Amino acid sequence: MRLSIVLAAAAMAGSSLFAIGAAHAQDQVNLTWQMWGDEKDTALWQSLADLVTAEYPNIKVTPQISGWNDYWTRLPVLASSGQIGDLVAMQSMRMPSFYSLLEPLDAHFASDKFDTSVFESSIIKGLSYDGTQYALPYDVGPWIVFYNHDKFAEAGLADPAMDWTFDDFKAAAEKLTSGDNYGYAVQAFDFIAAPVALGAEYFNDSDQFDLTNAGYEGAVGKYVDLVAKDKASPVFASGTNAATASGRFASGNAAMYIDGPWSLISTKDAVNFKMGVAPLPRGEGASRFITAGSGWGISAASQHKDEAYKALQVLTGPKAAQILASAGRALPGRLAEQTYWYDVAAKDVSSTRETLEYAFEHSTPFRINENWNEFENLITQYMPLALTGEKTTDATLSDIQSQLP
């Protein structure tokens, strides 16, 4: 009798273990994670994916890496064909065009009282749309001036002040220009970030493009004149990206150019001189700067949204932020982990912490709409006409305005 009871108990235990094992197998979830990057970034992203499995052994995250341009070309195609990943990388400047592909996160936040105040506030807003949060950030940064500290010293120029003006910037650019060497290397996005720093707006009160208002025309004209009249910068070719300006800077051909903290470690590694960073020059009013960044959201089409939310919290959590920051890959959107980036990417670069803290303290909303990508492309295509003097600044901006909704 006792033996039969023992056998029955053993059978029941075996059955229970089998059921538990079956349930565990059913709980295994494989998530795909779409991200842009270079081949050299693969190991870094995989290390973040491994953090998810370490935290949740039943969840496996597989990164799917694409080049930057391919990523944005393929994203709508993957979405329409039902092949979009469970986790989707998103840049704040493209949120108005792609938010509909993502799961709103506010209900998830409410379910576990998730606190978004651990992130820099400007990028939390940047990864939302119409008051709804669609992604959490991994990096953030304002546009800033990269400058050749050695050339400044050789020319007898002091390091830029935090609140330096456009007149200060212009004077430095002119003094640092000699022969085939320039004080500044202009690029397309300068005609967006820099006018805002001067106090101008490219939108009207309804968040629609108004490129022909006097404030924006005047601010853009200041930078155009640096190239077309003062010859303090070379002209960039139509369609050229930021690589040309950074290349001129790295080679010593240009003493200043405008970029963001996302490029700091690669630029620092490419130069053979001491470099520094400074805020964008202000106009007659107070300093103000736009910031941008990137993060990850959950696909609205995902079949595993609860698991994807768990993974998202890990990918944007403290350990992941520390890994990215310590590699110099990103100035974290998480405030507490930014110090790791300063210790690596910003090491030996003058005024980095002071500049970025100043820029965040004086940040202004980055105003974008669903036609933003078209605007950027038109700026890149048409601004060289003003820089060469083929067209006036006003005529160039009018041409761009006529092609926007």
pLDDT digits 0-9 by tens, 215-263: 999 999 999 999 999 999 999 987 666 678 999 999 999 999 999 999 9
The answer to whether residue 17 sits within a structural domain is no
Q: What is the pLDDT of residues 87-104, one digit of tens each?
A: 999 999 999 999 999 999
Q: Which two three-digit tokens encode residue 10?
A: 């053993």
> Among 159, 42, 51, 34, which Cα is nearest to 91's?
34
The answer on 395 and 339 residing in a single domain is: no
pLDDT at 153 over 60: yes
Q: Which residue shows structure tokens 């079949």? A: 303
34 with 156, same domain: the answer is no
**Mean of all residue pLDDT scores within the chain:** 92
Q: What is the predicted pLDDT for the residue at 191?
A: 98
DSSP conformation class of 98: H
What are the pLDDT digits (tens) for 42-88?
A: 999 999 999 999 999 999 999 999 998 899 999 999 999 999 999 99
Helices (H), 275-403: 305-315, 318-326, 338-344, 352-361, 372-387, 393-402
In a domain, residue 125? The reply is yes
Residues 6 or more apart whose Cβ sits within 8 Å of residue 263: 146, 242, 246
pLDDT higher than 60, residue 26: no
pLDDT value of position 2: 38
Under the banding of pLDDT at 50, 70 and 90, the label for residue 370 is very high
Q: Cα separation of 34 and 84, whole Å?
A: 8
Q: Give me the phi and psi of 196, to 5 degrees please.
A: -60, -40
Tokens of 300: 């609205």
pLDDT, tens digit, 9 for 90 and up, residues 109-149? 999 999 999 999 999 999 999 999 999 999 999 999 999 99
Spatial distance between the Cα atoms of 393 and 383, rounded to a whole number of angstroms? 8
Q: Are residues 232 and 320 in the same domain?
A: no
Provide the token pair at 403: 């092609």
Same domain, 228 and 87: no
> Beta strands of 190-238 (E only): which ranges?
none
Query: Do residue 310 and residue 297 come from a single domain?
Result: yes
- Is residue 37 within 8 A of residue 45, CB to CB? The reply is yes
Residues 207 and 93 reside in one and the same domain: no
331, 262 contact by CB (below 8 A): yes
**Strand 256-259's sheet: what is its strand order?**
256-259, 144-148, 275-279
Residue 303, domain extent: 29-140+292-343
Given a cut of 50, whether residue 352 has pLDDT beyond it is: yes
Residues 176 and 238 reside in one and the same domain: yes
**Number of helical (H) and strand (E) elements in the chain, helices listed first:** 18, 10
**Conformation bin of residue 403: beta by default, left when phi > 0, alpha when psi is -120 to 50:** alpha
Interval 203-213 mean pLDDT = 97
Fill in the amino acid letter for 283: G
R_g over Cα of the chain: 25
Q: What's the distance, CA 339 to chain centroid?
A: 18
- Asked if the structure places residue 4 within a domain, the reply is no
User: Is 325 inside any structural domain?
Assistant: yes
List, for residues 371-401, the tens digit of each pLDDT value.
999 999 999 999 999 999 999 999 999 999 9
Q: Is the domain of 47 the same as that of 69?
A: yes
Residue at 329 is within a domain: yes
CA distances to 30, 85, 271 from 295, in Å: 20, 14, 29
Q: For the chain, report the end-to-end CA distance as a whole number of angstroms.
A: 86
Report the pLDDT value the prediction gives residue 329, as an integer from 0 to 100.
84
Looking at per-residue pLDDT, the higher value among 281 and 4 belongs to 281
User: CA 70, 71, 77, 78 torsion: positive or negative?
Assistant: positive
13: in domain: no
Tally the domains of the chain: 2
Domain stop point among 327, 343, 359: 343
pLDDT at 206: 95
Decide: 372 and 96 in contact? Cβ < 8 Å.
yes
Query: Do 280 and 391 have their domain in common?
Result: yes
The answer to the question of residue 22 being in a domain is no
Nearest to 93 by CA among 61, 51, 122: 122
- Starting at the edge strand found earlier in the chain, the sheet holding 59-66 runs 59-66, 29-36, 87-91, 291-298, 136-142
> 259 and 272: one domain?
yes
State whether 53 and 194 are in the same domain.
no
- Residues 213, 273 within the same domain: yes
Residue 61: exposure state from Cβ atoms within 10 A (0-12, 13-18, ≥19): buried
Q: Taking the CA of residue 116 as centre, how many other CA atoms within 13 Å lie in the half-sphere pointing to its CB?
A: 20
Please check whether residue 190 lies inside any domain of the structure: yes
Q: Residue 63's domain is classified under what CATH number?
A: 3.40.190.10
